[in-house]
Amino acid sequence: MPTAETSLVRSQRISPDPALSFLALTPRPAERSRAVIAVSTLIVGVCGLVLMPSQFLRPGGAILILIFSLTTIPVALGWLTEKRLPHFETAYVIYADIGVVAVMAMFQSAFLSMPSIAVLVLVSLFAAAFTGTRTLVLHVAYSLCVLGVLTVLSLRDGTEVWVTLSRTLALGSMFATPFAIRMYVAFLRRQVDAAQRDPLTGLLTRRGLYNRMSSMSQNAQGSHGPWTMAATVVDVADFADVDQRFGRDSSIEVLVEIAERLVDASPTEALLARLSTSEFLCVHRARNEESGREESRALGAALESTTLRSAPVTLTTGSITEAVDPHADAGSTLHRLMTRAEATMHRRHAARLQGSTAVQAIHDRISALIADGGPDIVFQPVCTAGTGDVVGYEALSRFPDGHGSPQTWFVDANTVGLRVELEVCAIDAAITASAPLPAGAFVAVNASADTILSTDLAGSLVDHMVRRQWVVEVTERDRIEDYDGMGVAVDMLRRAGVLISVDDVGSGYSGLRQLVELRPDVVKLDASIVRGIDSDPMRRAAAISVSTFSREIGAICIFEGVETPEELATAREVGADMVQGYLLGKPLPAASALMTTTPPILS
């Protein structure tokens, strides 16, 4: 890609939810929290040292204050260690209570000691955040008793009643703060938990699943050796038919009932999530691989053999059990488990369809093509609208004659459960076939949402990023049901350096929501809009809106299907960054595509 344009598209990123990331308490925020407590402890010790020269202390008071101030050093170091003693937080509260009251006793008068109650208020805030309700209540009761004793002693010493009562009420009211904070934190936790759960079924969302896995990884910091994790994917075959045949209410009842059955049949400690409209996931830790496989088989059998009350549907399951590193990135672990479980599910679903002779023939034909290395790959040039330089290519599949267009092949592959495998095979073939193309030229490959969600495209492309820029074009063939999951998968591709393109904007399911949700680096206007753009005011207006939208989000706008000089001129006028079409170059094998660097029409 040209440098100026690439600098724009690389700025487009999807950021994680900061509130959820913080409340998941990943290791870095946890370390920072401990550091803050350690520093606060040391500051209290320094305050004691500053107090030592005071003339308002009892005889020998400075020595006792020095001793307690020095004890803050080992206590602070204890907060900075990874492994601490059991009930360390509760012990810290007791230590603080004893130390603060001992220092308060060193003042010559009770009235002078009363402001030190503020330190006990600070300790109560810590107790509210890091200990249980019982510890907090006992600490506050202890602190109020100390405040009451100081009030009585101050009055006995002759301090004015109104000044003493005013100070007592002001300090005492401060102890309501930790309880208010505790209630608010509980409210936030409920809000976060609700945000991480599917409102229909009550199961976790993809984000909630990731955060729970992150918490498990954090709690495993002291663990040694791998964990055995089992993942089971459950999907409703042809779920769209349920809505059409029985209505929306019945389809909702199906999803709720499946979620209930999943909860009942899953192990107690399992993480349960709704991945997309009709797909569910169960992830749990097993004792060993054998028990994990047995538990997954039992779960799959229980779900597939049970007839639902709401509607007659077919459930398909797939599972995987494997050893994982508990300290590894939770997102990578989840992605690998889901990908492999879904692959198993698709194979089982495809096997069910093989009873028909015609379907079996389609399955055999596509399987044979995949085994032979996939379709042939041709490359159509993409040119800058202004200078006419060939800056990249789109990889297109060409299949054996006699079985329809490439679109037909992918539809057939979807019918027999091999579409993802066929798309991955085509992408692998494009990677291999692109070797002769110029190193500076980008190459765009097509992938459906299912392929992006269920495979490791980033892993396939990352090794080839040094030679050229890769672009993944999200096809318009299917509606994207799971935008949350799609956002995570797209973000993984971006982190690997892959650019995201929304293909065929203006046709199929490539609508405004897809543009807004995916935040593409490249927007491709469909040929059906480009065709006749020079003579049709409606098409011209649509093209202007897409090119303007692209500029606003910092994306490159490519016009597809440019076939006449007039269409090319209009594309330039309305703001196309790049153009593609038969006028500029036909799809050719890589060696033939190299023969022209600038199409004659642009020379």
Tell me how far apart the 2 most distant CA atoms of the chain are, in Å: 107
pLDDT of 515 strictly over 70? yes
Confidence at 2, pLDDT banded by 50, 70, 90: very low
Which residues pair with residue 323 across a beta bridge?
Answer: 228
Q: Which CATH superfamily is domain 198-354 in?
A: Reverse transcriptase/Diguanylate cyclase domain (3.30.70.270)
Whether the CB-CB separation of 129 and 139 falls below 8 Å is answered with no
Q: What confidence score (pLDDT) does residue 476 get?
A: 65
Q: Residue 556: what pLDDT?
A: 95
Provide the residue count of the chain: 603
Q: Which DSSP state fits 442?
A: E
pLDDT of 393-440, one tens digit each? 999 999 887 666 677 788 789 888 899 999 999 999 999 999 999 988
Residue 77 has pLDDT above 80, yes or no: yes
Full 3-state SS string of 96-148: HHHHHHHHHCCECCHHHHHHHHHHHHHHHHHHHHHCCHHHHHHHHHHHHHHHH
Domains of the chain, residue spans: 18-187, 198-354, 357-602
Q: Specify whether domain 357-602 bears CATH 3.30.9.10.
A: no
Residue 355 banded pLDDT, cuts 50, 70, 90: low
Percent of the chain, pLDDT > 90? 39
Looking at residue 262, its pLDDT comes to: 92
> Percent of the chain, pLDDT > 70?
86
Q: Between the ranges 282-296, 355-369, 418-432, 524-538, where is the mean pLDDT highest? A: 418-432
Query: What's the pLDDT at 559?
Result: 95
pLDDT score recorded for residue 212:
85
Query: 30, 218 in Cβ contact below 8 A?
Result: yes
Q: How confident is the model at residue 351 (pLDDT cuts 50, 70, 90)?
A: low
Q: Which helix (H) or strand (E) holds 558?
A: strand 556-559
Half-sphere exposure of 149 (CA within 13 A, CB side): 11
Summarize the confidence of residues 493-497 as an average pLDDT.
Answer: 91
pLDDT at 17: 40
**Of residues 549 and 79, more confidently modeled:** 549
Q: Which residue has the higher pLDDT, 433 or 34?
A: 433
Residues 6+ apart with CB under 8 A from 353: 359, 363, 415, 416, 417
Q: Does residue 50 surpass a pLDDT of 70?
A: yes
Q: What is each CA distance from 602 to 219, 408, 534, 571, 585, in whole angstroms?
A: 61, 34, 18, 13, 11
Q: Which residue's structure tokens are 């946890």?
A: 30
Q: What are the tens digits of pLDDT across the range 117-153?
A: 999 999 998 888 888 889 999 999 999 999 999 999 9
pLDDT (tens digit, 9 = 90+) per residue, 223-282?
567 888 899 999 987 676 666 556 667 788 889 999 999 999 998 889 999 988 889 999
pLDDT at 433: 94
Give the DSSP letter string of 143-193. HHHHHHHHHHHHHHTT--HHHHHHHHHHHHHTTHHHHHHHHHHHHHHHHHH
DSSP state letter for 443 = E
What is the per-residue pLDDT for 193?
Answer: 79
- Where are the strands (E) in 464-542, listed by range? 470-474, 499-505, 522-525
